[in-house]
Amino acid sequence: MTREEALRYLNETMVPEEGVIPAYILSDPTIYKLEHEKIFMKTWVLLGHESEIPNKNDYMLRDLAGYSVIISRGQDEEIRAFYNMCTHRGMKLCRADHGNKANFTCPYHGFNFKNTGELIGVPLQNDIYGGKLDTSKMSLNKVTLGTYRGLIFGTWNDNPQPLDDFLSDFKWYLDIGLGRTEMEVVGPPQKFIVHSNWKIGSDNFVSDSYHTMVTHGSIAQLGMVPSATYSKKGYQVHTDNGHGCLIGMPNPDFPFPEELKDEYKAHLTPEQYDLISNMKNLIGTLFPNLSILVSHTKVKGQLVSNTTMRLWKPVGPDKMEVMTWFMVEKNASEDWKYRSREAYILTFSPSGIFEQDDTEVFTDITAAASGVMPFAKQLTYNYTMGMHREPVTDFPGPGVAYGDKFSEANSRNYYRYWLNLMNS
Ligand SMILES: [Fe+2]
């Protein structure tokens, strides 16, 4: 199938506002290539968190749309990113995942680059180039970066939408999720491969509270949550650009560090603080593939919150690498941090009970969507849940809010934006 045929067929078979999503978009190689070009090469994608490289000359390797990039904090504290390719012969300049270096030496011919990008050393330069090599034209290729609340985003787009506009109203929810006070990442992110299309993760976190009572039903049976329908109460909210989240409410207990209440108040608006004080959980997806999660779990009889963000990184139509970061309030007590981490490990770390339930489902959905049959038989998914509902007007945050978490409105919004970009 050519790209033109794929796009024509996509527009014939996919109607997000009517809740019609074709199964083949979770497996088709042409769709996957188009996503790479029209979404991952164009939008902002999360690279990491500033607290991962706290010191001068710290660096980490990440990939942006599948291309390796070096993200480095310079001597001047500024964070920069470069394509991880020597400008002489194209060798991967840096091969360690993270470390501390003021400059990088290419393993092929020894070309040496400062962590600000300039080429500062060429072995035998004057002799072999006769003093004629213009090193000023050989700096590393810079990656466009933007940051928000410690999150580092990158894009290959030379003329991107400003990051602020891209995040739009979803910043209000990112503030609560990852910016309610100074947050830090604990350790390097964990990475694991799941034989799943990447969109299933994004979709699950953007709107799917409904699966909780079945997929994670054993958690209710174990008594870790009050009832199987505990995930229904609250709000489902979406904003421009496909972003959306689920806010579970109410919650009579304050599961965050008591001693940080003033810090929270300083970082948040009164409306955001009221919400977080009464919030049971926050689950959301920032388009295209960053999901965030704040959830509360009882550890040794005490309710404690834990925060994670994860990236559903495509590595093929039917395979993704999941990167998960455990994040914690930087100024919380060591004891609280420890308990929060225990809660994370128990629930949404790679070995967590929720995570294992979910990835099992993601894998089977992808297998059922694979090959030519779902395409030939035009198999579609039903995303009509909640279409009868009107948005509520008493929700304090921006965006379109519904007063019930069981809805697929956020997925329809997510896929509408996905389809717009695919057509761009
Ligand atoms: Fe789940």
CA of 216 to the centre of ligand 1 (A): 7
CA of 217 to the centre of ligand 1 (A): 10
- Dihedral (CA of 158, 42, 53, 151) sign: positive
Architecture label for domain 169-423: Alpha-Beta Complex (3.90)
CA of 348 to the centre of ligand 1 (A): 9
Q: How confident is the model at residue 1 (pLDDT cuts 50, 70, 90)?
A: confident
In this structure, are residues 292 and 282 in contact, taking their beta carbons and an 8 Å threshold? yes
CATH class belonging to 45-160: mainly beta
**In sequence order, which ranges of 14-149 are alpha helices (DSSP H)?**
29-35, 125-129
CA of 362 to the centre of ligand 1 (A): 10
- Collapsed DSSP state (helix, strand, coil) of residue 417: helix
CA of 349 to the centre of ligand 1 (A): 12
Q: How confident is the model at residue 329 (pLDDT cuts 50, 70, 90)?
A: very high
Burial 292-304 (b: 16+ CB within 10 A, else e): bbbbbbebeeebb
- Collapsed DSSP state (helix, strand, coil) of residue 404: coil
Please compute the mean of the pLDDT values over residues 369-397 and round it to a whole number.
96
Q: How confident is the model at residue 37 (pLDDT cuts 50, 70, 90)?
A: very high
Which residue in 283, 348, 289, 285 sits closest to 314, CA to CA?
A: 289
pLDDT for 355 beyond 90: no
Query: Could you report the per-residue pLDDT of 333-346, keeping only the tens digit for each?
Result: 999 999 999 999 98
CA of 365 to the centre of ligand 1 (A): 14
Query: Could you report the per-residue pLDDT of 299-309, keeping only the tens digit for each?
Result: 888 889 999 99
CA of 206 to the centre of ligand 1 (A): 11
CA of 353 to the centre of ligand 1 (A): 9
In this structure, are residues 249 and 294 in contact, taking their beta carbons and an 8 Å threshold? no
CA of 211 to the centre of ligand 1 (A): 6
What is the reported pLDDT for 219? 79
In this structure, are residues 266 and 238 in contact, taking their beta carbons and an 8 Å threshold? no
CA distance 362 to 236: 22
What is the reported pLDDT for 46? 98
The residues placing their C-beta within 5 Å of ligand 1, an ion, are 358
Q: What is the dihedral of CA 340, 345, 349, 353, to 10 degrees?
A: -120
Question: Would you state the structure tokens that stand for residue 136, as one six-digit string?
Answer: 């000023």
Please compute the mean of the pLDDT values over residues 21-38 and round it to a whole number.
97
What is the reported pLDDT for 217? 86
CA of 359 to the centre of ligand 1 (A): 8
CA distance 176 to 271: 11
Q: How confident is the model at residue 353 (pLDDT cuts 50, 70, 90)?
A: confident
Cα 200–Cα 35–Cα 194 angle in degrees, nearest 5 = 35
CA of 295 to the centre of ligand 1 (A): 12
CA of 236 to the centre of ligand 1 (A): 16
Beta bridge partners of 98: 60
- Sequence ranges of the domains in the chain: 45-160, 169-423
CA of 308 to the centre of ligand 1 (A): 14
CA of 340 to the centre of ligand 1 (A): 19
CA of 324 to the centre of ligand 1 (A): 15
Beta bridge partners of 144: 155
Q: Which helix (H) or strand (E) holds 281?
A: strand 281-286
CA of 212 to the centre of ligand 1 (A): 6
In this structure, are residues 168 and 243 in contact, taking their beta carbons and an 8 Å threshold? yes
CA of 354 to the centre of ligand 1 (A): 6
CA of 328 to the centre of ligand 1 (A): 21
Measured CA distances, 223 to 30, 154, 406, 420 (Å): 45, 42, 22, 43
CA of 208 to the centre of ligand 1 (A): 8
Measured CA distances, 299 to 67, 216, 305, 332, 343 (Å): 40, 18, 10, 17, 6
Query: Could you report the per-residue pLDDT of 167-187, keeping only the tens digit for each?
Result: 999 999 999 999 999 999 999
CA of 138 to the centre of ligand 1 (A): 48
- Strands 119-121 and 144-148 turn out to be unpaired
CA of 72 to the centre of ligand 1 (A): 34
Please compute the mean of the pLDDT values over residues 391-413 and round it to a whole number.
97
Q: What proportion of the chain, given as a percentage, has pLDDT over 90?
A: 89
CA distance 158 to 164: 16
